[in-house]
Amino acid sequence: MIFDTLKPQVKTIISNNTLNKDTRLFQVCQLLEAHVNYYNWVGFYFKNGDKNELKLGPYVGAPTDHTIIPFGKGICGQVAVSNKNFVVPDVTAQDNYIACSITVKAEIVIPIFVNGENVGQIDIDSNTPDPFTEADERFLEFVCAEVAGIL
């Protein structure tokens, strides 16, 4: 499985203390987007200080206008409130979805916890309908746990 080969690579990137945090996060995005063929946009959002909103961090994929997302709005904003994974097999079936691109068919968002607090999330868009499985969730939870170690 591709995820088993990516895990040690994620660990290597995250543990590279010669690079700053944003560079390491960007390299994780590059790794995932390059090696999982249905990951078409990979990025991080983080809580924006004391505000009830998310701010876009490092990402790979098409540029997005959604650099700030209020808590509760869209899939990312809902995960900021629920503290739970959110897998969307068909974005057109979601009422509270923020469209980034007409090519996006599915989305997965996994929260990042530091000391029990939801501090951000990894957000992945796919141009493939319903591509995400439980294996994606477990792998992305692993990625988020690794990322939490440098936040």
Find tokens 């969730």 and name the residue: 137
Domain extent listing, the chain: 2-148
What digits encode the pLDDT tens for the residues 34-46? 999 999 999 999 9
Q: Which residue has the tokens 């701010």?
A: 55
pLDDT of residue 1: 73
What CA–CA distance (Å, rounded) separates 46 from 112? 9
Residue 113: CB atoms within 10 A of its CB come to 16
pTM greater than 0.85 (yes/no): yes
Confirm if 57 and 45 have CB atoms less than 8 A apart: yes
Per DSSP, what are the bridge partners of residue 44? 122
Q: Edge-to-edge, what's the strand order for the sheet holding 117-126?
A: 68-70, 53-60, 41-47, 117-126, 106-114, 86-88
- At 48, give phi and psi (nearest 5°): -90, 85
pLDDT tens string 2-17 = 999 999 999 999 999 9
For 2-148, give the CATH class: alpha beta
